[in-house]
Amino acid sequence: DDMSMSDRSQNALFRAGRLLRQYRINAANKSSSQFLILSVDRDFVRRFPHEDGVQTLMMEDLLEKIYQSNHGEDTDRIQDHWMDEETFVRAKKIAIRCQEDYNLRNDPTRRSKSLASALNTDIEEYWTEERVQEGLHNKNLVKGRLTVTKENIKEAVVLSSGGAGADQASLFINQTRGYFNRAFHQDVVIVQMLPKEKWTSPLGKRRLIHVQSEDNDDSTINDTEDGAQSE
């Protein structure tokens, strides 16, 4: 539950590897598929050589293996058998997006205006372990398990046995503050309650329905939520 930032990053990396590996299996209709995580950290490769079908390997070891191989078409073989073109393009786009996101969050001079509302709040982007523990001790923070709702993937509930001045807490979480990418479904998270005047209620299952009047050609959009329909 109490994972360090480094361990949580490594865990997220393997999760991404498993997702891409499963996508490759489904796309190629194969029962098995190998997926590699290349690293320049030999200690990381030694500690996590293999996990759930995802293998770690030093970049220099991979290049050395390719160089010493007797096969003359290793480049084509890597693309054809390890990763098809569609998956390769998708992985490349993900890598570029991850690098941009990393630069954005770690270089204040490159933060875009789109994150201004999230960054210019009273909540800092990362808190120290000492500050989190102090908040839990003073009951200013709530620790609980994040459950994403089935009705709306942008909404979640955090269930806790105590915190924030209450014996039990059931806190509603949405995506409006820009921190929704901090955890996965069923992760244990730390939550700070907003003032009551900033509380919102779950939107739930909401959809737009396009309808056309039988009397004329005018089209309307009906906003349907929880079985109630209004025009």
- State the average pLDDT over residues 144-150: 86
Query: Is residue 145 pLDDT above 80, yes or no?
Result: yes
pLDDT at res. 224: 41
Neighbours of 163 (CB within 10 A): 24
Total number of domains in the chain? 2
- Same domain (yes/no): 10, 99: yes
Domain hosting 194: range is 129-198
- State the average pLDDT over residues 32-61: 76
- Same domain (yes/no): 96, 139: no
pLDDT at res. 164: 47
The answer to whether the pTM exceeds 0.75 is no
Contact by Cβ (8 Å): 183, 190: no
Lowest-pLDDT range of 10-19, 187-196, 218-227: 218-227
Query: Is residue 184 pLDDT above 60, yes or no?
Result: yes
- State the average pLDDT over residues 29-43: 72
Contact by Cβ (8 Å): 187, 147: no
* Model confidence band, residue 67 (pLDDT cutoffs 50, 70, 90): low
Which residue from 201, 12, 196 is spatially nearest to 101, judged by alpha carbons?
A: 12
* Model confidence band, residue 230 (pLDDT cutoffs 50, 70, 90): very low
- Same domain (yes/no): 50, 134: no
pLDDT at res. 107: 64
Which residue from 171, 121, 122, 118 is spatially nearest to 142, judged by alpha carbons?
A: 171
Query: Is residue 78 pLDDT above 60, yes or no?
Result: no
- State the average pLDDT over residues 158-182: 67
Query: Is residue 73 pLDDT above 70, yes or no?
Result: no
Q: Considering the chain, what is the average pLDDT of its residues?
A: 68
First-to-last alpha carbon distance for the chain, in angstroms, is: 47
Torsion angle of C-alpha atoms 21, 27, 33, 38, degrees rounded to 10: -40
Task: CATH number of the domain at 156, please.
Answer: 2.40.50.690
**Residue 179, in any domain of the structure:** yes
**Residue 218, in any domain of the structure:** no
Query: Is residue 83 pLDDT above 70, yes or no?
Result: no
Contact by Cβ (8 Å): 191, 142: yes
Q: Is pLDDT larger for residue 129 or for residue 229? A: 129
**Residue 211, in any domain of the structure:** no
Cα 137 to Cα 7, 26, 188: the distances in Å are 24, 47, 17
- Same domain (yes/no): 54, 97: yes
Query: Is residue 143 pLDDT above 70, yes or no?
Result: yes
